[in-house]
């Protein structure tokens, strides 16, 4: 497949490495421009591109940048991009450590619904609950006992099925985690977050999640930063 990746940090870098090694055509972008990605390109064979090109080159486009920077992406990023193109959101909201306050999320919108609103596109939420290093190193063949499973939330069943196939190629089971409005079940602080469960464990953890946002995952009261 052709895969655009916006963000070349921990997760974007791991996905560039793994997806390129699997034979996908990877087009990767960051905020500093393609020249700054020469090393990653040389290592992996991926093509460094602008953010706009990454959104236009992929059958799948993975957005993997800090939540607070989502609104800084070009407003017209997906203008003219076919509706068939699947956009994956790997993001997590870290108000106290990184992102400052995002009002929509604090008011109860799921993190990925908020991202989808900013991008003006439906998204599929996955890769958000696994450490980048585990994504890079812990994939295993299908059928391996204890194979790590990742929740996949989204409003389009076909798009989720395509993403679950992509995960399988990377060495992970995919578990349908419901719609984007239900994707609070896999956000930071939930039982499935960073837990590396297998498919049964992921299903159980998703069912045990509670919707209330815990204080450690809320913006500090004094935080006046606004995104």
Ligand X SMILES: NC(=O)c1ccc[n+]([C@@H]2O[C@H](COP(=O)([O-])OP(=O)(O)OC[C@H]3O[C@@H](n4cnc5c(N)ncnc54)[C@H](OP(=O)(O)O)[C@@H]3O)[C@@H](O)[C@H]2O)c1
Which residues form the interface with ligand X (CB under 6 A)? 6-12, 30-32, 51, 64-67, 69, 72-73, 90-92, 94, 127-128, 131-132
**Residue 47 near residue 25, CB atoms below 8 Å:** yes
Closest to 122 (Cα-Cα) out of 95, 162, 149, 93: 162
Residue in the block written with tokens 């985690």 = 177
**In the chain, where does DSSP find H-type helix?**
10-21, 38-44, 51-57, 103-106, 111-119, 132-137, 157-170, 199-208
**Secondary structure element (H or E) that encloses residue 205, with its range:** helix 199-208
Token representation of residue 179: 């719609």
Using the minimum distance from each CB to ligand X, give the nearer residue, 91 or 154: 91
Per-residue burial over 169-184, b = 16 or more CB atoms within 10 Å of its CB, e = otherwise: ebbbbbbbbbbbebbb
Six token digits for residue 11: 């997760």
Residue 29 vs 159, nearer CB to ligand X: 29
Give the pair of three-digit tokens for residue 183.
């994707």
Q: Shortest distance, CB of residue 159 to ligand X, whole angstroms?
A: 19
Question: Which residue is closest to ligand X by CB?
Answer: 9
Q: What's the rounded Cα separation, in Å, for the pair 219 and 174?
A: 31
Provide, rounded to whole angstroms, the least separation between the CB of residue 86 and ligand X. 17
* Cβ at position 6, least distance to ligand X in Å: 6
Nearer to ligand X, 85 or 130 (CB): 130
Task: Compare residues 9 and 157 and give the one whose CB is closer to ligand X.
Answer: 9
CB of 132 to ligand X, least distance (A): 4
Nearer to ligand X, 9 or 158 (CB): 9
Min. distance of Cβ 219 from ligand X in angstroms? 15
């Amino acid at each position: 497949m052709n895969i655009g990746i916006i963000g070349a940090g921990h997760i974007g870098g791991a996905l560039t490495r793994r997806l390129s090694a699997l034979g996908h055509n990877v087009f990767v972008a960051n905020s500093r421009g393609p020249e700054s990605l020469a090393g990653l390109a040389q290592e992996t064979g991926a093509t460094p591109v602008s953010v706009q090109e990454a959104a236009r080159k992929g059958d799948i486009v993975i957005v993997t940048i800090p939540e607070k920077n989502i609104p800084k992406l070009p407003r017209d990023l997906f203008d003219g991009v076919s509706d068939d193109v699947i956009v994956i959101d790997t993001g997590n909201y870290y108000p106290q450590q990184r992102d400052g306050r995002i009002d929509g999320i604090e008011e109860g919108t799921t993190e990925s619904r908020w991202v989808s609103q900013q991008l003006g596109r439906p998204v599929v939420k996955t890769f958000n609950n696994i450490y980048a290093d585990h994504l890079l190193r812990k994939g295993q063949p299908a059928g391996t006992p204890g194979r790590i499973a990742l929740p996949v939330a989204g409003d389009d069943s076909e798009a989720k099925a395509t993403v679950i196939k992509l995960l399988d190629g990377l060495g992970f089971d995919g578990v349908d985690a419901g719609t984007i409005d239900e994707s609070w079940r896999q956000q930071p602080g939930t039982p499935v977050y960073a837990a590396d469960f297998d498919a049964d464990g992921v299903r159980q953890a998703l069912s045990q999640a509670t919707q209330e946002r815990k204080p450690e995952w809320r913006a500090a009261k004094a935080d006046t930063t606004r995104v």
